[in-house]
């Protein structure tokens, strides 16, 4: 299995209703394909985590990248995911108030945006990989922490 987390920038206006219908549509589509994860939106940025079979996740990420409603800034992939982190969330929309205790998504968003700014300024693409390989523990540690806390957040 594969786990992917990315940050993107909204290119159209998303109000509460639009976000809810995006997450509901995604959850219905994901349910059929065994994709699980969560979606968070704040300050015009999405952070989404998806997990599932390799081919299915690759295909989903292609579709998501092509979606003109946003621009994907940075993606981090975990290639050999052994166990789902969010087995019961087909696409849970997380809300800010739920995360006040956790504050993890801010860290994760800021970190992925930071990585993206580095990538833009580095001349050698190999350096980008270097940078990512130094921090996977941190990134996946944050995602795992949220997985541990999902009991508190409740089922979708």
Ligand X SMILES: Cc1cc2nc3c(=O)[nH]c(=O)nc-3n(C[C@H](O)[C@H](O)[C@H](O)COP(=O)(O)O)c2cc1C
Q: Where does this chain bind ligand X (CB under 6 A)?
A: 8, 22, 26, 29-30, 39, 46, 48, 50, 60, 63-64, 67, 69-70, 91
Backbone angles phi, psi at 73, to 5 degrees: -95, -50
Q: Where are the alpha helices (DSSP H) in the chain?
A: 16-33, 54-66, 104-121, 125-134, 136-148, 150-153
Please say which residue, 69 or 106, places its beta carbon nearer to ligand X.
69
CB 17 to ligand X: min, Å: 15
- Cα-Cα end-to-end distance for the chain: 22
For residue 82, the minimal CB distance to ligand X (Å) is 21
For residue 46, the minimal CB distance to ligand X (Å) is 4
Place of tokens 């994901």: 30
2-10: strand order across its sheet: 70-78, 2-10, 45-52, 36-42, 92-94
With tokens 């541990």, the residue in question is 148
Shortest distance, position 114 Cβ to ligand X, whole Å: 20
CB of 3 to ligand X, least distance (A): 13
Nearer to ligand X by C-beta: 26 or 104?
A: 26
- CA gap 111, 131 in Å, rounded: 12
């Amino acid at each position: 299995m594969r786990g992917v987390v990315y940050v993107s920038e909204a290119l159209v206006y998303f109000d509460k209703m639009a976000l809810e219908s995006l997450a509901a549509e995604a959850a219905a589509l994901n349910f059929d394909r065994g994709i699980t994860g969560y979606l968070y939106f704040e300050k015009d940025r999405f952070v989404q985590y998806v997990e599932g079979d390799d081919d299915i996740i690759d295909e989903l990420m292609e579709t998501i990248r092509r979606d003109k409603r946003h621009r994907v800034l940075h993606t981090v992939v975990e290639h050999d995911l052994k166990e789902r982190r969010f087995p019961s969330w087909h696409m849970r929309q997380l809300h800010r108030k739920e995360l006040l205790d956790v504050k993890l998504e801010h860290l994760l968003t800021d970190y992925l945006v930071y990585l993206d700014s580095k990538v833009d300024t580095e001349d050698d693409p190999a350096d980008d990989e270097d940078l990512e390989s130094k921090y996977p523990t941190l990134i996946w540690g944050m995602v795992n922490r949220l997985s541990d806390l999902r009991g508190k957040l409740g089922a979708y």
